[in-house]
Each structure stands twice: as structure tokens, then as C-alpha cells.
Amino acid sequence: MKIKIILSLFLLAFCSAQTKNFVARQWNIEDGLPQSSIRCITQTHDGYLWIGTWNGLARFDGVRMTVFNALNTPKLHPSIIDIYEDKQHRLWIGTDGGGLLQYKNDSLVWLDSADGIPAKVINSIKEDSAGNVWFGTDNGVFIYTENRFIHFSTANGFPNFPATWVIPSRDGSMYVQFIRAVFHVRLSSKPAEKLGDSLIFLDEPFSTGGYRIDVDTSGAVWYSVKEKGVVKRIGSNEYIDKRFANVNPKEIFILPNQQKWVMTPQGVYLLENNEIHNHRIIDGIDCSSITSVFEDREGILWIAVEGAGLIRLRAKQVETITVSGGLQTNEIMCGMEDRAGTVWIGTWLGGLSYRKPGGKKFAAVPLLSNGTSIMAMSQSVDGMIWVGTWAHGVYIIDHGKVKKFLGKGLTDVITIRSIVSDPRGGVWIASAYGAIGYYNGEEEKIWDSQNGLPNFMINSLLLAKNGDIWSGTDGGGVIRISKGIVSILNSSNGLIDNFVHVSIEDNNRAVWLASRRGLQRYLPVGSLAGNNGMLSTVNSKHGFDDDPAQFTQDVEGNYWIGGTHGIHRIRNRDLNEAADGTLPSLSYLTIGKSDGMPVLECSGGNNQHVWKTSDSALWFSTTHGAVRIDPRSVASNPVPPGVIIEQVQIENLPVALDSEIIIHPQETKIEFHYTGINFSAPEHIRFKYILEGFDDHWRDVANVRFAQYTNLAPGRYTFRVKAVNNAGIWNEEGASIDLLVLPPFYATWWFRALFVIFFFTVGPSIYFLRVRQLKREKEKQVEFSRRLIESQESERKRIAGELHDGLGQNLLIIKNKLLVALSSKKTDGESHHIEEASDVVSSTIEEVRSISHNLRPHQLDQLGITKTLRSIVRQAKESTPIEFSTEIQDIDGALSSEEEINLFRIVQEAFNNIIKHSGATKVNINIFQNENSITVKISDNGKGISSSAGFGISGMHERAKMFGWKLIIESNPNQGTSLSIIL
């Protein structure tokens, strides 16, 4: 017994050491699953995963779950045992108590005894190579062939037990598993009248102890026997792998990639290439009670763990180094590999750590304290490691000894952002606060604001192959020091963002600059100043919409960019063609959490956040550790996403997905809901769509999964959508659906025909009616002109009478008084007559003024329109008992002289009407000016205007019409009158 325990422990230890590195992603009830215990998983031809649980069925596209259960699908029994899609794309669903169902045309159809299959428990469903579908049930075996079900049971040689599994073999035969025996059979190519004669038994039945069997591509049968091991059966011969004897093997699943997954109480064992890997804990998930394993068409593994929902397993594409690997903190700031192969990592508040070649863990360097933040490092030609810190200056590590470096311009408390070494033995050091120093033991030189550097924080340094130093700043653009001369590149001469860091000089000797607005490539074709052809941009307009925080190039020339949404690989040719303007849209591979990244965001702002090592690996900095990628081992994703239009809604209501969607005239809004199915990284699927006949280009909508259009013109359209996976592989065919937008009745041919008939019949009547209307309007105009002439004549008559009766008489009296004065001999009499003449002259002057005022108010010329209007109000207050409420803003200079006199006349006429005819006791007048107009509003509480309004009202309208003003008069009997003028 002790020996068995020891062997078991040895096997477990051996297997654990060989465990594959998987990334697990889990979906459960809160993610949309109908129940947490999954019994079966399959994938249909359109790419969907179908998941059967104890409480319903789910269809999964990688992002969304569509659930079918007893609540929304009454025919569905909630307990699902097996799901299978045959070659004709029929989806069969077996239940535990509800019989067999078939899913087609987006609905479930229940099959029962009337269809030839009365069984209530459907345990297993598979298809043989001839296209016959086999069903293992509680009542024997049913086979669906030639559009009918054939039943095989005890009468045909099977035992009186439920058939638990049906497993196809590649030679067209089937293995049918019962509780105590497995039968190897084949269906005759031509079923006989006696159904039993249609079944051919190939081998003697054999026992497996009741555990599940599976068949590999060679035709060998695999199963497990308790305390015996894993059995491989070829024909009647059994080969036992006793390495599993002490771990109680149970179920076996053979995947399309020929991995054998063996379920045991100690977890799942993976048998691959004669190696065994134990997976009790996979990425933190307890996998000791796996109930199902499934491999999809992308090679992704899906497992069901009792009570733990759906789990996706993907091989890790990255390695993460954290505190568990010896670091003091997980927030990485910089790193490098020295010429001896030692990897150095600087952290925030965690000091400096190193790992020698062949080492498993990192060790700390006693540099100040563990609370030191390391910002930059570089190895000089003499082998010394230069280390820049935050607020603690520069240190040198020389053969394991740490010492302080205080060069020109450096202090104990200075913050260093970047360090680079040059081949002449010197080092370049950038402090955070706008200074760059060069030190080589013999020479020390500083560049700062006195040498032309902008007074902004420096974030990065790059030594180009020609010896130029490039530096990025936070707000001051890019600095280049060439042969000691400083030049600046910023937004005034081509830079898209002044907050920029210098990333790399690539294999083509182009310098790449990175900012939150994208990448810019500088080609060394001349000086910075005045050269408009040197910079080109790659950003969201090319389909790359991430922040390029970390940027490097692998040994094959591919570019790798760490951003806020993962790490992206772009082919060298593609990125440069996009920069050249010859490639409008980029495709690239994205590595994210599904590939093992601890967090999507890569730390940014310094080109030393990413580094390469001699084994071709790329290292990226994150706040959750250092991420190491071997570009040569990164698996691409060659499977394009399946694209499906799942639903079309018109006015928010779903419609049937027919070959052509009909939109009626009263329907103005249509929505298309689509999906892309690719399970490697569904969160990175991007879409483009176009409505042919409406859009003139494809719309790039990132990961948005619906499109909406409103008020489409009548006609025929085609909606197309396509998608790209995380590796940049497009499904160019995509999905499409046709639309027909029906015209409104007035745009149809029959309506137009009726309109023509109407035009030639009723049209003449309308014409003559319009002619009569124009005649009436002309008669009104003639009548107005007549009344206007009469008014002018009346006014002339009035003025003539006033001149004759008033002014003329007064002048005659003055004449007579003066004659009398001249003829008088007495001094007193002479004085008396002269005084009387003076009084008459004064009266005459007043009368002349009154006449003049009636012809044109002199206040307009002397006081302006504002004071003139206020004068009208004041005179009305003094001459009538009416109570006036006034608010008149200054409108001087806003109107021409002609406009002012006409506004005055309208207001004057309105006041005359109020005083003479309204019987009002209160009047409000408001005149105010805004940006584009002047508004005059006069209202009273009088008796209103009668329907037979006089010539004065018509005159108001004509004056307003002459200048394009809007005059509105509103009046109700005994409710007053309101007059508004908008100028």
C-alpha cells in the first residue's frame, strides 16, 4: 500500500512539473449562462458555441450569451444532456426527460413518437461517415437515415440497458456503449425490411467498467479501468498504461489535436506525445471535477467544471515576472540585458533586481533602500552599469560594487529620466527638469535652456547611429542635438503632439516618435528646420487607435507596440506603407489578457520601459510585472471571425430575416445587430460596415456590434458587414442582407399618373381660381393706392387750411397792427399796438412749429430716435389720464434715417389710436434690442380693434412691409390690443 502511495505521489510530482501554462477565462451565471453545471459543448458551422446545462441551453459568440430555457422556450426540457450538429447543419438537442429537439430557422422543434423517436432520455448524439445520425437513449439506439428513424434494441442484439454513448470511428463504424458492454457495429448501406438485418456487429462486445470511451484517428479505442489504468484497444488487443493505475482514471476525451484528457479525482491529466501533464489547478481554477472537454475550430480548449461554469483554456503567449519571481514590487519602470546576459529590472519603490543567465529568480541589488525608484539604466563600454533614480541621482555598479556618481550638473537629489551609452565610452544622462549631460571621464558638457533646450520635462533619450541625440519632452516637442547644435521639432513645424517620447531608430534608420495622438516617422533626409517631407503619421485613421506607450522592433523587423489595450505586432512593411500613405488600413496581432497578460496597459512615457534580450525576447513594463514575449513562439490566429447578422429591427421591433427586408413609408428607423465569432480574443474583434446605395465608404466602428439608419430614401440597398480578428485576419466576405425601402404613395407611379390626370382636369380650375385671387389682391392694392392718394390730398388740404386760416390770418393781423402803430402819433398807443403784434408773432411761430412737427418731427434730427419715442410717451402721459408703463432701450444708430421716421410714424399712429379710440386705462410699451433685431411691443387694456379697422392700420402694415419688418396686431373685443414690430 505504501508503495502505491509513493508511486502515486511520484507521478503527481512528475506530472505537475510538466504542466502546460494555460490562461483560463471563466463564464458563469452572472455572465449569462442559464446554469453553472455544464453537461455538453459543441460548435456549429456558423461558429457559435452551444452549451447545454441542467437548466437550459446557451448560444455563445464569445461576448454574448443567448439563452433558451423553459421560460422563453416552452417546448424545451431544461436538462440538456447532449448537443450535436450534423453535416446538413441540423442541430440536434438531447434532453434528460424531454426527448429530442431540433433547432432550425431560429426555433426549436420537438420530435416525439409521431416522428418515430418516443425516447425521453437522449444520452448521446453522433453522426457516422455516411451521414446517418445515431442516438443513444434510455430505450436503445435510434438512427436517423433517409428521413426516418430506425429503432435498435434488445430485439436486434443490444442489451436491455440505456445506451450511454455513441462514438464514431473513421472507418464508418460506430461504438455503442451500454453500462456493462461496448458494441462495435455498422449500419448496412441498404437497410432491409427487417430492421434487425440492417445492423452489422463487427467485434465481440467488451467491458469498460461503465466509463466513457473515445476513438482516436487511427481507430483505436481508449477507455479507463478503475485501479487498472488507461486502456488503448486495437481490435481485440488491450494495451494498458499503468501510470494511471493509482490515480483512479474515469472519463477519457480525445480531442481533434489528438490530446487525451483523462478525468480523475486528482484533477485532469493530459496525455500528449507520451508525456503526462496534471491540471488540478489551471490558472487558479480548481479542475478536479471536469465533466466535459471540447476543442473548437481555432484549437481553443473549452472545459466544463462541475458548478464552475464554462472555462476557456489558451496556451500562454507571454511570461510574466512579478514578486513571485524575486522582484521587490510589480510596478516596472525600466530594464536591460548586459553583455554578460544578466537581465536587470528597475521598479518603482522596489529598487533594482537582476537575474544571471540560467537563473530562475531575480535578486535585489542593495542600492540605497528597497524604496528607491529606478528610472533608467545603461551599460557603458567599460562594462559599468549606470543607474538613474527618482530624486536620488545617479549610481554606478562596477563589478558588484555600488557607488555614487556626481558629474557636472548632477546632485544627490536629482531625478533622472533616461541614460544611454555611446560607443566612444561616454554616457548621456537626461534629468527630469530640462537638462541633458554628456560624461566620458575626460569631458563633461551640459545642454539646458541656455543652450536652446525648451524648459520642459525630458522623458526619453535615443542615440542614433549617426551620433545624434534625440530627446522627447512633456510639452516641448522633440530635441535633437547634432554635433553639439540643438534643434527643436514641435507642433509649429510638423509634430502632432508636443507631449512625445522618442522610441527607436529602426532597421531603416527611421526615428519613430510616439504620443497619445499616434506614431510619427522621421526619415533622415535633411535638417529639422524647414523640411516638410520628413515626418509622416500613423494613427487612428489607419485603424490603429491605441496609445503607443512602448515601441520596439524584433529580430525579423516586425514592430511591437505596447499600449493601453495590449501589445500589438505590426509587420514592418505594413507600418511603413501606412506611414507612406499607400496602405489606408492596418492589420495587426494584438496580445491581451486572453494570452496571459496580467493587465492590458503597458507603462508609458519612456523608451526604456521596453527592452530586448539576446535570446530575441521582448520585455514590456506594466504595473503588474514585466511581460516577456518570445516573438518566434507567438502563435498567430489564422481563422477569420465568422460574421453573422443576428437581428434586424424596424422601429425597435425585430423582423424576419428574409432574403430582402421590406421597409414601409411610415417606418423611418432600421437597426442591424451583428456579431463576429472568434474565441481567441473576442474583445479585439473589429468591424466595418457599409450600406450600399447610401454610404460612399466602409465605416470603421471598432467593436460596436450594431448599425442604425434613419429616413432612407426609397430604393434598394444592401447592408454588408465584415470583421477582423486579433491577428489582423479579415473575413472579407462577411455577411449581407438586402433592403427595399418602399416609396410613399405620392412617389409611386400610380399616384403620378393620377396627378397627371388631375393636372389636366382640375388644374385649369385651380388656375382660374388663382387668377381671380390675384385680381382681388390687385383690386385691394388699387383701393389702397386710391385711399393713399385721398389721404395725401386730405393732408394737403389740412396743411393749406392751417396755412390760410392760421398763419395767413396771423400775418394779416401783424400787418394791420404795424400799420396802426406807424400811423399813431401817441407814444402809449404805439407801444400798445407793437406789444399786440409781438404776441401774434409768438403765436404764429408756435403754429409754424406745430405744422413742421406734423410734417417731420425735428427731435429725430436733434435728439435721435430713442429720445423721440420717449418724448411721445411723455406727451401722452401729460395729455391723457391713461397710465403708461415704459421700458425703452437705446436703439440709436441701429436704423437708417428713413427707417427711423417710419418707425416713429407707426408708433405715433398706434398712440393716436389708443388715445382716441381704445378707451384704455393702461398701456405698456417695450422697446429692446438683441444681436440681430429690434422689437417694439405696445399693448393696452382697451376695447380692442373692430373688424373694420381704418386706413391707419393699413398704413402701418404698408410701412412695415416696405422695410421687410414683421408687424403683428392681436386684438380681442374688450380684452385690449397688442402690437408687435420686429425690425
For 341-378, write each residue's pLDDT tens digit. 999 999 999 999 999 999 999 999 987 666 899 999 99
What are the C-alpha distances in Å from 154 to residues 126, 157, 189?
Answer: 21, 5, 22
Give pLDDT tens digits for 215-238: 999 999 999 888 888 999 998 899
pTM for this prediction: 0.70
Task: Report the pLDDT averaged over residues 437-453.
Answer: 91
pLDDT class of 794 with cuts at 50, 70, 90: low
Give pLDDT tens digits for 275-305: 888 888 888 888 888 888 999 999 899 999 8
pLDDT class of 197 with cuts at 50, 70, 90: low
Give pLDDT tens digits for 553-574: 999 999 999 999 999 999 999 9
Task: Output the pLDDT for position 533.
Answer: 46
Bridge partners (DSSP) of residue 715 are 741
Task: Report the pLDDT averaged over residues 771-784.
Answer: 74
pLDDT class of 893 with cuts at 50, 70, 90: confident
The yes-or-no verdict on residue 714 having pLDDT over 60 is: yes
Task: Output the pLDDT for position 124.
Answer: 96
Task: Judge contact between 108 and 102, C-beta under 8 A.
Answer: yes
What distance in Å separates the CA atoms of residue 51 and residue 710, rounded to the nearest whole number? 37
Q: Report which residue type is found at 64.
A: R
What distance in Å separates the CA atoms of residue 626 and residue 568, rounded to the nearest whole number? 16
- The grid coordinates listed for 165 are 454513448
The residue written with cell numbers 434613419 in the block is: 710
Task: Output the pLDDT for position 20.
Answer: 56
The yes-or-no verdict on residue 6 having pLDDT over 50 is: no
The yes-or-no verdict on residue 854 having pLDDT over 80 is: no
Task: Output the pLDDT for position 249.
Answer: 84
- The grid coordinates listed for 497 are 503632439
Q: What is the DSSP letter of 915?
A: I
Q: Report which residue type is found at 340.
A: A
- The grid coordinates listed for 461 are 533619450
Give pLDDT tens digits for 649-672: 999 999 988 889 999 988 999 999
pLDDT class of 11 with cuts at 50, 70, 90: very low
- The grid coordinates listed for 220 are 483505436
The yes-or-no verdict on residue 716 having pLDDT over 60 is: yes
Task: Output the pLDDT for position 948.
Answer: 55
Task: Report the pLDDT averaged over residues 908-927.
Answer: 86
What are the C-alpha distances in Å from 897 to residues 556, 593, 850, 926?
Answer: 82, 77, 21, 21
What distance in Å separates the CA atoms of residue 813 and residue 982, rounded to the nearest whole number? 50
pLDDT class of 958 with cuts at 50, 70, 90: confident
Catalogue the long-range contacts made by 786-794 (C-beta closer than 8 Å, 24 or more residues apart).
Answer: 787/951, 787/954, 788/955, 791/951, 791/955
Task: Judge contact between 923 and 884, C-beta under 8 A.
Answer: yes
Task: Output the pLDDT for position 17.
Answer: 36
- The grid coordinates listed for 529 are 528646420
Task: Output the pLDDT for position 527.
Answer: 37
Q: What string of DSSP letters covers 937-959?
A: EEEE-SS---SS--HHHHHHHHH
Output 686 or 894, whichever has higher pLDDT. Answer: 686
Q: What is the DSSP letter of 603?
A: P
The yes-or-no verdict on residue 251 having pLDDT over 60 is: yes
- With a pLDDT cut of 70, the percent of the chain lying above it is 86
152 φ, ψ (degrees, to nearest 5): -120, 130
Task: Judge contact between 558 and 570, C-beta under 8 A.
Answer: yes
Output 659 or 90, whichever has higher pLDDT. Answer: 90
Task: Output the pLDDT for position 63.
Answer: 92
Output 575 or 904, whichever has higher pLDDT. Answer: 575
Task: Judge contact between 600 and 594, C-beta under 8 A.
Answer: no
Task: Output the pLDDT for position 955.
Answer: 79
The yes-or-no verdict on residue 801 having pLDDT over 90 is: no
Task: Output the pLDDT for position 784.
Answer: 65
Output 934 or 193, whichever has higher pLDDT. Answer: 934
Catalogue the long-range contacts made by 788-794 (C-beta closer than 8 Å, 24 or more residues apart).
Answer: 788/955, 791/951, 791/955
The yes-or-no verdict on residue 704 having pLDDT over 90 is: yes
Name the least confident of 235-239, 390-394, 724-728, 820-824. Answer: 820-824
Task: Output the pLDDT for position 477.
Answer: 95
Q: What string of DSSP letters covers 204-242?
A: --B--TT---EE-TTS-EEEEETTTEEEEEETTEEEEEG
Contacts of 65 (CB under 8 A, 6+ apart): 27, 31, 32, 33, 58, 59
pLDDT class of 7 with cuts at 50, 70, 90: very low
The yes-or-no verdict on residue 926 having pLDDT over 50 is: yes
The residue written with cell numbers 550638473 in the block is: 409
Helix residue spans in 696-748 (DSSP H): none
What distance in Å separates the CA atoms of residue 75 and residue 79, rounded to the nearest whole number? 12
pLDDT class of 796 with cuts at 50, 70, 90: low
Name the least confident of 51-55, 286-290, 839-843. Answer: 839-843
What are the C-alpha distances in Å from 738 to residues 649, 692, 719?
Answer: 14, 9, 6
Task: Output the pLDDT for position 89.
Answer: 93
Strands (E), 180-331: 182-187, 199-201, 214-215, 221-225, 229-234, 237-241, 252-254, 260-264, 267-272, 275-279, 281-282, 285-286, 290-295, 301-305, 309-315, 319-321
Average pLDDT, the chain: 86
